[in-house]
Structure 1
């Protein structure tokens, strides 16, 4: 049995998986040079000394490198999963055994266990919450008001979580500052676009081993995640249809060369459907009724409610597992609809999530966002704050440097020109 630090509480699937997990964490770390530089600085400066920190995130090799950096900075850190199916069990085991970080996460945990882990995280009485989807913060605000005085602030990783935080702020329920990591340029331009685009198709291919070339793929939503998914699907030879509710995003999709139509029209045309909207019931009962026999349905938005699975179950006479993470629903009409990953994040359910090189910048934002909150304790009013531009730019500079690229700098004459309103053409 792998030894664990004394008195460390945890709940993982199997500690004997730790050696494999450690190898994978170290492999991912090779692709995360920005976070490594931040970790090295944290180890010297200890910005989180005396800070209790809870991270609710997908327990992957990349998240492990973030957790290790936070602990190096002095944080009393605890990690839980942000999704019941996204945990990599060997990584969770290694974080406990090799790094002494308490983890409460198991791949395939049921909803009751997931919510129990949220409560365990709040039992840690965090000062800083790093959230992915806002479940920990929402539970705190609704059920643990007596702990609000402990909170310095929170950072949020996802579009879904930012929507919830802004709703809390609008309702007067947000009583502490929140840092919007999701909308940092070095996050959504790369994580949401290149990360989601590649990893979503990776998950679909691993779950089905299907050829994408020649298929018609319907992408619901043309935000940054939808842009990346549509771009990569076209790159694999698919014919791509985009559905949208935002007329500006729809025009952009048209000008990017994609067909655009309502889901009611796309439902009969698609071979594969991918939801990336952050909303609920984007694919509904009437859409299942219109789909081709054998249509595949997958979600890469944060929550599984993007696909109305209850409506599908109501229409079905039988459900069977045909491959790992692949369930075939036989409709009462006789045709079938195949759901991947139980409607949860397909890139993390059936694959390994975003590539490490992309998450390097996202988690650099998380680390620096948390440090920003600590440095500004008591100075920030309750609000949803963007990542400071100087931090965003520094992350991009470090990433470029690590990739071996350099860029130009403004000359003194150019700086004078850009700061002057008196010089014209």
Structure 2
């Protein structure tokens, strides 16, 4: 056991000696490497084309050399001399061309030319009556159907009763009834009902003075402003010079709309601020019409039918102010034919406010109730003077009873 322990001590001692020797040898190798110097770098020539080296972090920047600066005039630009100021060409505003003035078509015979359009919507009345009167036996039921046809067409109760009574008497006397005889009979009676003895001329040429003054009234939505513009075309087509007064100041688009109509035919439009005094605009329009020697002044008024009192005050004031220049020659009431009996209610209100002298029926081509012509004339005791038969600029025509009745009963 003692020998074994001695052997182990010898082994351990040998290992320790080996470690110490190896450590010493390593230190000698490292030290020799540190002492060995690196060879100097090979000499180089400076590269004049290379950019100067950028300074490293921590290097001090050299003080910049002060060099004289050259102005832009001293710098030679490639391909030319120093720049000169470039003058921009003057802006030339192109003149705004006024729209060409239109020449409206003549009004003479205009309703006759539009008869086909009118007859398409009105034939129901005439053909219905002719069919009933052509029956072999005209009993009480048939005559009641005749009455119903006339009432449906808005002829009105009293005019219907008068027409039926006259038809019964004439058919009884006539005896046999051919289609031609019935058509002639019905045409005569309808003409009597519509009336051929009214003066349907739009009065725009007062004796001894100018201009003629026409005021256009009616509820908004009936086509009042459009009708005023179309009436200006009718007057211009007949050789008159026209001034338009945009006295409907409560509807923003009314003055613009009227002015557009006027520009198309060369009529001057007098307008005021939105929401301004309508009477003031009407006064200025008549004043300007007198100054320039116009033939006619057309005044478009507001059509707010909120309260009869407000409407009466407003239109009454316009009338009084205008008549400081001259009396009104014409007061035209615009009614929408498609409203039927409701139009009669409007007509009564306006008739109480101002003295209506004539009626304009618009949208007559859009209804089969042509009897409103008869009813409104009976209600107001004034004639229908103009009728509107479409959206076209020249679809306003002087009312001609014969042409209207022929359109009712067809060819």
| Greater RCO (Cα-Cα under 8 Å, separation 6 or more) | 2
- Return the structure number with greater strand share: 1
* Both proteins in one fold, TM over 0.5: no
Structure of greater Rg: 2
**TM norm structure 2:** 0.31
